[in-house]
Structure formats: C-alpha cells, structure tokens
Amino acid sequence: MSTDLSVKNARLIKLQTVLDGFDGILSIAEIQRDIPFEVRRVYYIYNLIKHKDVMRGKHAHKKLEQMLFCVNGSCVIELDDGENKQEILLNSPNVGIYVGTKLWHTMKNFQNNCILLVLASDVYKESDYIRDYEEFVKYIKTHA
C-alpha cells in the first residue's frame, strides 16, 4: 500500500507484516513490489542520542532513489520539491518513505535511539549530490 504526499517524487510505503505468534513481527520489503528500484546500496544511521539537534541529509540527488525506514525510534523527514515542503514523522518500522530524484531532504528530530535504514538505487557517487539549496532550486528549474 502506498500513499501519495504533497511533494513530488515521494510516497509512503507500508510493508507487509506477519505476526509470528510469540516470536515477534516480520516485515517484508520486496523489490519492484514495495521498493520501486533495484537496491545497490544499504546503510543505516544510528547513535544519534549524543546530539539531539543533529540534522542529516540537507541535499538532493539528481538520479539516486532511496527508501527510508526508521527501524527503531522515530525521526522527522523534511521534504522539499522546489515548490512544496512537507514534514513526515517516521515512527513505525514497517512504514517507509520513498525519496525520489530531485527532492531536497533533511532528517531531524531523532528520538528514542533512532535507527534509520536507507536502501539506495546506486552506489555512492558524489557527482549525483546537490548540496547547496540555491543550486538545487536552479537545477529543478532547468531539469523539470
């Protein structure tokens, strides 16, 4: 199940979950069913309790697509497509957010020993990053 957001190139994805009796809950993410791209890189951000005001991200990608899951705790994902801005609270391990191309994103307000899992469509390439907001706005206007 996916839900559209007010920003372009983003949507919430709710993963299938299986309650396994007393043995916990299993959440399942399948490529092309739940994840709309082939995963080429996986990383996670954690140990953020020492700096409560930390902000991660603060960039956009030209071609990279990502899925973000808060597998523990919670955080706020701030999205900006150059026209619309929206904040999304991630606080359930089976609900993620698809962050598509040309979408400025910032992760903040990490709570309760947050662990943010990221699935990415490609390996790290610095040339794909737009790290200056004004450059992002110009890029959006010329690559609509």
Q: Which residues are catalytic?
A: 59
Q: What is the CA radius of gyration of the chain?
A: 15
Rounded CA-CA distance 93/75 in Å is: 11
Distance set, CA 84 to CA 5, 93, 129, 138 (Å): 10, 26, 20, 15
Answer whether 19's CB lies under 8 Å from 93's CB: no
Helices (H) and strands (E) in the chain, counts: 1, 11
Beta strands in 5-130 (DSSP E): 10-14, 16-19, 25-28, 41-45, 56-61, 66-80, 85-90, 95-99, 104-120, 129-130
